[in-house]
Structure 1
Amino acid sequence: MDPDRRLLLGGGVLVAIAAVVSVLAHPEMPAEMATHWNASGDVDGTMSRELGLALLPVLALGTLGLFYAIPRIDPREDFESFRFAYDALALATVALVVWVHGLVVLVNLGYEFGILQGLAPAVGAIYVLAGYVTERAEQNWFVGVRTPWTLEDEQVWTETNQLVAQLFKVGGVVAAAGALVPQYAVALIVGPPVVAVVVSAGYSYYRYQGTA
């Protein structure tokens, strides 16, 4: 199947699922839906039922559109070499938005569970997929570790992305552990990408200096 068609078809199904959930849940939703939680997992934001049910499906559609557009606006045109991995990450990201939508609907239906516990495994899966894509990405302007030094030197790009890919894979397991220790869920979810950013900047600069 053509990669573009595969991406649009898979993403379209996910968006449609979110839309159907909204339609079916609408009669059961409170007039003001809980839509935002603080780091402790307590509700600290609400919005109207109509907006609350529409927001995340629309966001899922916008996310799909963004991933569809990126290969077309990157001047390097290197996406075909890792297109399958890229599409997997794109669909997983759209699925994450749909997953969050499902969690929000369930909470507002009265089901009692920690929102962060429900979110942690899905975020962990995204991190693992991000690692899978990162280790396969060729030099480009949108996917992978894009520092001045990785974009300047192909060898630095390869070595840095290989390292960061492993960090993301391990980080996926760390983030998913937030489901087991909800009191630390925020730190476990946020920590891995912060570590990856710091390491990628420092390591790519170090390797570039070594090749100069």
Structure 2
Amino acid sequence: MNPPARFLARQKTVAGLVVAALLALGIALYGALPDQMAIHWNAAGNADSVVGKPIAILTMPAVVVFMSLLFEITDADVGERIVGSLAMLLLLAVQVMAFGVNLGYNVPIVPITLALAGGMVAVAVWFEMR
């Protein structure tokens, strides 16, 4: 197994790093973020769901922890752990973009997220086929 695959197979490590990064970023940006934050966008790129800042900051780390627990409970194989790690890294990227949008940056979140998700699927298929 190549080094990137070995790292991604260590799903608990990836989950821990992603949660730490998400929490550190949320804490660092807390004062600059608006009280109500957009967390979902429609296909046209318009925000269609808004929540309070604490929920917007803490939900994604909670999702990653929940995902990690599911991988442990289900006794996932190496391929499934790699795909899970890729999904967690995708969630990190989406949260970073959401922070950017909420800070006023013009981030084309929908096309970037779709491209990243497509790339994640391609990489996951590649890992599974090896």
Aligning the two structures, in what range does the TM-score lie when normalised by the shorter sequence?
Answer: 0.7 to 0.9
Of the candidates 86, 95, 109, which is equivalent to residue 101 of structure 1? 95
Query: Is the 2:82–2:124 Cα contact (8 Å) retained in structure 1?
Result: no
The structure whose RCO (Cα within 8 Å, separation 6+) is larger is 2
Structure 1 residue 54 corresponds to structure 2 residue 58: yes
Query: Is the 1:34–1:45 Cα contact (8 Å) retained in structure 2?
Result: yes
Identical columns (%) = 22
Q: Which amino acid in structure 1 is aligned with residue 48 of structure 2?
A: D
Q: Which amino acid in structure 2 is aligned with residue 70 of structure 1?
A: T
Query: Is the 1:60–1:98 Cα contact (8 Å) retained in structure 2?
Result: no
Of the candidates 21, 37, 43, which is equivalent to residue 39 of structure 1? 43
| 1:131 shift after superposition | 1.2
Q: Which structure features the higher share of helix residues?
A: 1
Query: Is the 2:86–2:124 Cα contact (8 Å) retained in structure 1?
Result: no
Q: Which amino acid in structure 1 is aligned with residue 35 of structure 2?
A: A
Of the candidates 65, 87, 96, which is equivalent to residue 81 of structure 2? 87
Secondary structure of 2:10's counterpart equals helix
What's the CA shift string for 1:100-127, capped at 9, x where partnerless?
1111111001110211122123202221
Structure 1 residues 23 and 92 mapped into 2: Cα distance closer, same or farther (>3 Å)?
Answer: same
What's the CA shift string for 1:155-202, capped at 9, x where partnerless?
xxxxxxxxxxxxxxxxxxxxxxxxxxxxxxxxxxxxxxxxxxxxxxxx
Secondary structure of 1:28's counterpart equals coil
Query: Is the 1:86–1:133 Cα contact (8 Å) retained in structure 2?
Result: no
Secondary structure of 1:30's counterpart equals coil
For normalisation by structure 1, the TM-score amounts to: 0.53
Give the length in aligned residue pairs. 124
Structure 1 residue 120 corresponds to structure 2 residue 124: no
Which residues of 2 match residues 108-147 of structure 1 at below 5 A? Answer: 108-135=102-129
Of the candidates 29, 32, 35, which is equivalent to residue 33 of structure 2? 29
Q: Which amino acid in structure 2 is aligned with residue 52 of structure 1?
A: A
